[in-house]
């Protein structure tokens, strides 16, 4: 008698490519479609061996899934998954690095330009019929600006490479200096902010980086400064940022992420010196399909006995383990 296919749980609706690839290969349970999700989880929890997510996975959920083997995260950032706890339980966690690097880097550079040159504001100005009455006000420029990158990982490096073509100087801050890059390293974030005109946040989220960009950092960035965040909203003290934007402590901000997504503070949305996007850094059809394929490849590889393709640092895997 053939072995029953592994049972996989989706906490929310997943990309159609994942749905199509899993059909016939796995038994898939969709918690978001259950009339009573709690009762459904109690019913199937012990049978679940794989979990596909794009949100929170904590110890309490792992308790409900005692035979869980793999958590496949749809996204490069996995701060919502308690990977340390997963490792303690022998569960591997995977994410989707590399495939979204270029897309997010492209958007980060676009957000820098849109914020500096006030492109959405200029668009609104034209549509409102103001141009025949007076030219749009002059804006700041990327010329003679120094850019600081917080977090020189895959995406940070891709952003830096793109910005090199604009002829700007690039500095960075991270846990340690990197010998293979030509950029100036700062051993403190406040030192980086003080040295640059534009601060781009690309560091991982999580408890260790919460509110890393706070009032003193914004003060150091200064009245000509621009903050761009394409990482996680948790890295920026949102109340301090609103105050800095209101008072002219910094010039402007371009944000793709927020502390309490999808809810954005009305005080932030009301400010005209911001460009605000609904977390669309990797949201192209091409890149989301590539991310979905990597989720599929990780799960298939795991259940075929070949191990995960992209395990996260907290859950390293070796075929000899």
The enclosing domain of 30 has a CATH number of: 3.40.50.720
What's the number of domains the chain is made of? 2
Q: Is residue 311 part of a domain?
A: no
Are residues 198 and 165 located together in one domain of the fold?
A: yes
Whether residues 262 and 114 fall in one domain: yes
CA pair distance 241, 196, nearest whole angstrom: 17
For residue 1, the model assigns a pLDDT of 55
Task: Give domain status of residue 202, yes or no.
Answer: yes
Give 115's contacts (C-beta < 8 A, 6+ positions apart).
Answer: 226, 228, 252, 253, 254, 274, 275
Q: Is 279 a known active-site residue?
A: yes
Judge whether 224 lies within some domain: yes
- Residue from 40, 89, 162, 279 carrying the catalytic annotation: 279
Which residue in 258, 216, 269 sits closest to 236, CA to CA? 258
d(CA 93, CA 81): 8
Establish whether 306 is a catalytic residue.
Answer: no
Q: How far apart are the C-alpha atoms of 71 and 75, rounded to whole Å? A: 12
232/246 same-domain check: yes
Does one domain contain both 54 and 136?
no
Tokens linked to 103: 């897309």
Residue among 87, 232, 238, 259 flagged as catalytic: 232
- Per-residue model confidence (pLDDT) at position 320: 61
Task: Name which of 279, 281, 319, 277 is nearest 302 in CA terms.
Answer: 319
Residues 80 and 139 in one domain: no
Q: Which domain holds residue 208?
A: 101-276
On whether residue 312 sits in a domain, the answer given is no
Which residue stretches of 182-237 are H helix?
Answer: 189-195, 215-221
Active-site choice (12, 161, 261, 286): 261
Q: Is position 320 within any domain?
A: no
pTM of the shown model: 0.92
173 is an active site residue: no
Same domain, 83 and 228: no
Three-state DSSP class for residue 144: coil
Q: List average pLDDT for each run of 10 residues in the chain, which is 321 residues long.
A: 87 95 96 94 97 94 98 95 97 97 98 98 98 98 97 97 97 96 98 98 94 98 98 98 98 98 97 98 97 98 97 88 54
Same domain, 163 and 246: yes
As a whole number of angstroms, the distance between CA 236 and CA 218 comes to 10
Beta carbons within 8 Å of 20's beta carbon, 6+ residues apart: none
222 and 143 in a common domain: yes
User: Is 316 inside a domain boundary?
Assistant: no
């Amino acid at each position: 008698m053939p072995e029953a296919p592994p049972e996989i749980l989706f906490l929310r609706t997943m990309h159609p490519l994942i749905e199509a690839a899993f059909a016939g290969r796995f038994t898939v349970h969709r918690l978001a479609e259950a009339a009573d999700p709690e009762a459904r989880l109690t019913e199937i929890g012990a049978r679940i061996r794989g979990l596909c997510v794009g949100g929170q996975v904590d110890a309490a959920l792992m308790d409900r899934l005692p035979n869980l083997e793999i958590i496949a995260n749809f996204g490069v950032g996995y701060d919502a998954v308690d990977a340390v706890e997963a490792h303690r339980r022998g569960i591997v966690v995977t994410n989707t690095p590399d495939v979204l690097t270029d897309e997010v880097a492209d958007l980060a550079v676009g957000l820098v330009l849109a914020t500096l040159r006030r492109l959405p504001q200029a668009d609104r100005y034209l549509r409102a019929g103001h141009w025949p009455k007076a030219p749009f006000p002059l804006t700041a420029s990327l010329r003679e600006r120094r850019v600081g990158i917080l977090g020189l990982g895959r995406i940070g490096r891709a952003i830096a490479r793109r910005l090199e073509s604009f002829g700007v100087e690039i500095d960075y801050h991270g846990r340690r200096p990197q010998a293979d890059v030509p950029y100036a390293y700062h051993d403190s974030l406040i030192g980086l902010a003080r040295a640059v005109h534009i601060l781009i946040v690309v560091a991982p989220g999580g408890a260790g980086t919460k509110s890393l960009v706070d009032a003193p950092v914004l003060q150091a960035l200064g009245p000509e400064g621009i903050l761009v965040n394409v990482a996680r909203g948790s890295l920026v003290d949102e109340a301090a940022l609103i105050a800095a934007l209101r008072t002219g402590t910094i010039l402007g901000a371009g944000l793709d992420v927020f502390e309490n997504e999808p809810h954005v503070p009305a005080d932030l949305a009301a400010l005209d010196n911001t460009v605000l996007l609904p977390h669309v850094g990797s949201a192209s059809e091409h890149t989301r399909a590539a991310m979905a394929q990597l989720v599929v490849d990780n799960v298939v590889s795991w259940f075929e006995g070949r191990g995960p393709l992209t395990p996260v640092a907290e859950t390293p895997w070796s075929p000899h383990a």
